């Protein structure tokens, strides 16, 4: 079991994070989850979810999580809507549970310290605002602080930016992060695996994130293989 941090920020593409969370949980990993306020806005806009970050229930991020207004089943058609998974999440508040939610202002959370061991962090999706803040070591909220910690501890930090077109400031910030050791993995799905659904495109990105985390996945057919 790996201990991983998943931070959602206010870029488009909340569905990538929802699917990533599901895949990591199914694989048996523990996820420390945190969301920026803008991520909450995107969840409302893109997935139709009512989100209260003061009392956030991570189960709403799953297709089977019981949120009646969720667009996730539509976007991830074909994905297993697992009620068992949402049960796992609800037990996650307990120490050692599979999902531990942290408020974005909670600097007393373990993930704010280098002494708390993790096996990596993903910011997905990563807004240009958070990208800039992390590139300049601002640590103004828990997401930025945890990212800063992962860089200084030389642990894996993966950022999944979504913006287009990109200006020179954004490109400079990405270069800065890559130079500091982060993996910049833009939400740019390929089309060489013959996708036919949004789910296929989402899984392309989620699969590449899992590869970077060292998490086994069979979400996408690998180039050069027949299976
Ligand atoms: C529906 C919606 C979609 C957005 N999409 C993007 C986006 O794709 N990329 C981006 O960098 N910012 C996007 N933004 C703007 C960010 O949310 C905004 O810059 C915010 O301050 C980022 O804050 P955060 O980094 O703390 O999450 C979007 C905002 C909304 C409401």
pLDDT in tens, 188-197: 999 998 899 9
Q: In whole angstroms, what is the distance from residue 70 CA to residue 200 CA?
A: 19
Instruction: Please state the separation of Cα 217 from the chain's center in Å.
Output: 16
**75: helix, coil or strand?**
helix
Q: In whole angstroms, what is the distance from residue 189 CA to residue 203 CA?
A: 9
Q: Hey, what domains does the chain have and what are their CATH numbers?
A: 3-213 (3.40.50.1950)
Identify the band that residue 176 occupies on the pLDDT scale cut at 50, 70 and 90.
Answer: very high
Closest CA to 205 of 73, 42, 29, 17: 17
In this predicted structure, the answer to whether residue 93 has a pLDDT above a threshold of 60 is no
Q: Which of 10, 46, 48, 134 to mutate to test the pocket of ligand 1 (most atoms within 8 A of CB)?
A: 10
Report the share of the chain in percent with pLDDT over 90.
Answer: 76
In this predicted structure, the answer to whether residue 89 has a pLDDT above a threshold of 70 is no
Report the share of the chain in percent with pLDDT over 70.
Answer: 89
According to DSSP, residue 53 is labeled G
In this predicted structure, the answer to whether residue 53 has a pLDDT above a threshold of 70 is yes
Ligand 1 atom with the shortest distance to the CA of 41: 31
Mean pLDDT of the chain: 90
pTM as predicted: 0.93
Site residues for ligand 1, CB cut-off 6 Å: 9-12, 36, 38-39, 41-42, 45, 127-130, 162-163
The mean per-residue pLDDT over the stretch 29-53 comes to 95
Ligand 1 atom with the shortest distance to the CA of 42: 1
In this predicted structure, the answer to whether residue 79 has a pLDDT above a threshold of 80 is no
Kindly give the distance from the C-alpha atom of residue 162 to the centroid of ligand 1, in angstroms, as a whole number. 9
Residue 120, CA distances (Å) to 7, 30, 164, 183 in order: 11, 11, 27, 11
């Amino acid at each position: 079991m790996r201990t991983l941090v998943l931070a959602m920020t206010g870029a488009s593409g909340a569905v990538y994070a929802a699917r990533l969370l599901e895949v990591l949980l199914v694989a048996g990993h523990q996820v420390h989850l945190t969301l920026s306020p803008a991520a909450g806005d995107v969840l409302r806009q893109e997935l139709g979810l009512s989100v209260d970050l003061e009392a956030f229930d991570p189960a709403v991020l799953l297709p089977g999580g019981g949120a009646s207004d969720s667009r996730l089943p539509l976007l991830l058609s074909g994905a297993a809507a697992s009620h068992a998974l949402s049960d796992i999440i609800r037990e996650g508040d307990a120490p050692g549970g599979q999902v531990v939610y942290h408020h974005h202002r909670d600097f007393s959370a373990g993930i704010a310290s280098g002494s708390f061991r993790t096996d990596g962090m993903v910011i997905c999706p990563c807004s240009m605002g958070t990208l800039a803040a992390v590139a300049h070591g601002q640590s103004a909220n828990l997401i930025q602080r945890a990212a800063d910690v992962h860089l200084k501890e030389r642990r894996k930090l993966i950022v999944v930016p979504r913006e287009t077109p990109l200006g020179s400031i954004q490109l400079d910030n990405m270069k800065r992060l890559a130079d500091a050791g982060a993996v910049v993995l833009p939400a740019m799905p390929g089309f060489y695996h013959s996708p036919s659904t949004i789910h296929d495109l989402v899984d392309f990105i989620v699969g590449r994130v899992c590869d970077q985390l060292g998490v086994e996945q069979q979400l996408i057919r690998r180039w050069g293989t027949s299976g």
